[in-house]
């Protein structure tokens, strides 16, 4: 009956049988399969969704639900059910294959290759996986930008040979993302990174967050060196941009970026002078991030960065991180001047804060070796 595709007759017969045996998983699966072939996906789902908890290896309803959602272009749900199907039956290679095909469809070729490689390690003779794996490797080689997707990170990169460096660096990047999300009170953020040979700006810094693309650019050299402090520096700008902090004074944003990044530049530094004022410090931090070439900086440029770092460090020591977080978020809508925000959160006049900070700098960091 099924082979002759006499759908109308077959559906009526199965509906009668299912009415007599309403808890029969086998009949429900057969009827849903006919609806699936007729592209009546809502009817198939109506049958199977109430029975999913009764899935067994023999009647793996999760797989059928994955196939239906896949065909309905609800790929996130399809992915969930394919994973459930494979977890229920690790010998159900088709489910793992379908997951890889979803990744290919989304252009996540590296993730697809990883799944297919793992599947072929389980069963080297599974021909459909071999075909898809060969296809995926070709896509990786021919694609201008390879894609690495894991956890909170999406990384595009020009040369597949860089994948080992990305794999090695990934745990440190992910750890920084979790830590800084918690610190700034912004969660579940997907961070996009683009690896390039050279960042196409006049200054060509080794790292740069681009607001228009909402993406962090890193050079291949930065990746090779595993320069986590540079990533953390630009991640600060990305996360503060995401929460709408765009009117904060540059010294505050740069101080936060250095506080989280803590580059080697700041180790063993000492100062020979105090700043004339915080507002003048704003002029030292250019949007093109030319100062991120740390090894090329003059002593004055290093001291400017150190001052910004010390201001934030002083805020944290004196007033606690919670108040620093509140101060940053006061600049969300641009309604506060710097002096107003400091008074509103820290309850101290700007000139008094500046003089207290000068005392801190002189006593703690003047002429220190």
Blockwise average pLDDT, block size 10, the chain, 369 residues: 59 75 76 82 86 85 91 90 94 93 85 90 92 84 74 84 91 93 86 92 90 93 94 94 84 90 71 58 67 78 84 91 90 82 90 86 68
CATH code reported for the domain at 144-243: 3.30.2010
pLDDT in the model for residue 44: 84
Q: What is the pLDDT of residue 1?
A: 43
User: Burial level of 161, CB count in 10 A (0-12/13-18/19+)?
Assistant: exposed
b/e string for 101-116 if b means 16 or more Cβ within 10 A? bbbbeeebbbbbbbbb
In the chain, the N- to C-terminal Cα span, in Å, equals 88
Which tokens in the block code for residue 297? 């900086």
Q: What is the pTM of this model?
A: 0.64
Torsion of CA 215, 235, 218, 228, to 10 degrees: -160
* The predicted structure's pLDDT at residue 61: 87
- pLDDT, position 369: 47
Selecting from 1.25.40.10, 3.40.250.10, 2.60.40.10, 3.10.180.10, what CATH number does the domain 7-143 have?
Answer: 1.25.40.10
Q: Rounded CA gap, 42 and 14, in Å? A: 17
Judged on CB neighbours under 10 Å (0-12, 13-18, 19+), 298 is exposed
Distance from CA of residue 345 to its chain's centroid? 31
| Structure confidence at residue 272 (pLDDT) | 62
Matching residue, tokens 């109308």: 8
Whole-number pLDDT of residue 111: 86
Q: Which helix (H) or strand (E) holds 209?
A: strand 207-210
Task: Report yes or no: 36 and 71 within 8 Å, Cβ to Cβ.
Answer: yes
Maximum Cα–Cα distance across the chain: 92
Ranges of each domain in the chain = 7-143, 144-243, 246-369
């Amino acid at each position: 009956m099924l082979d002759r595709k006499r759908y109308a007759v077959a559906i009526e017969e199965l509906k009668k049988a299912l009415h007599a045996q309403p808890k029969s998983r086998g009949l429900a699966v057969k009827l849903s399969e006919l609806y699936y072939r007729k592209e009546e996906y809502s009817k198939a789902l109506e049958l199977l969704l109430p029975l999913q908890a009764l899935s067994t290896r023999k009647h793996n309803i999760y797989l059928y639900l994955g196939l239906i959602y896949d065909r309905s272009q609800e790929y996130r749900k399809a992915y969930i059910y394919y994973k459930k199907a494979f977890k229920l039956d690790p010998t159900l290679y088709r489910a793992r294959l379908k997951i890889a095909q979803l990744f290919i469809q989304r252009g996540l070729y590296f993730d697809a290759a990883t799944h297919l490689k793992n599947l072929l390690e389980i069963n080297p003779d599974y021909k459909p996986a071999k075909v898809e794996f060969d296809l995926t490797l070709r896509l990786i080689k021919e694609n201008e930008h390879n894609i690495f997707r894991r956890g909170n990170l999406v990384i595009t990169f020009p040369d597949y040979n860089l994948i080992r460096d990305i794999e090695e660096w990934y745990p440190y990047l992910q750890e920084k993302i979790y830590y800084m999300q918690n610190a700034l009170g912004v969660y579940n953020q997907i961070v996009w990174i683009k690896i390039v040979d050279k960042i196409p700006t006049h200054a060509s810094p080794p790292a740069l967050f681009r607001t228009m693309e909402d993406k962090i650019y890193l050079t291949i050299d930065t990746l090779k060196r595993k320069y986590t402090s540079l990533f953390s520096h630009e991640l600060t700008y990305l996360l503060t941009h995401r929460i709408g902090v765009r009117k904060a004074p540059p010294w505050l944003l740069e101080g936060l970026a250095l506080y989280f990044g803590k580059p080697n530049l700041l180790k063993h530094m000492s100062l020979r002078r105090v700043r004339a004022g915080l507002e003048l410090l704003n002029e030292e931090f250019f949007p093109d991030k030319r100062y991120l070439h740390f090894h090329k900086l003059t002593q004055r440029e290093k001291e400017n960065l150190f001052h910004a770092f010390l201001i934030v460090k002083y805020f944290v020591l004196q007033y606690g991180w919670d108040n620093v977080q509140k101060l940053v978020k006061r600049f969300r809508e641009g309604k506060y001047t710097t002096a107003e925000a400091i008074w509103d959160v820290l309850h101290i006049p700007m000139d008094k804060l500046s003089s207290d900070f000068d005392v801190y700098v002189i006593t703690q960091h003047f002429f220190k070796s």
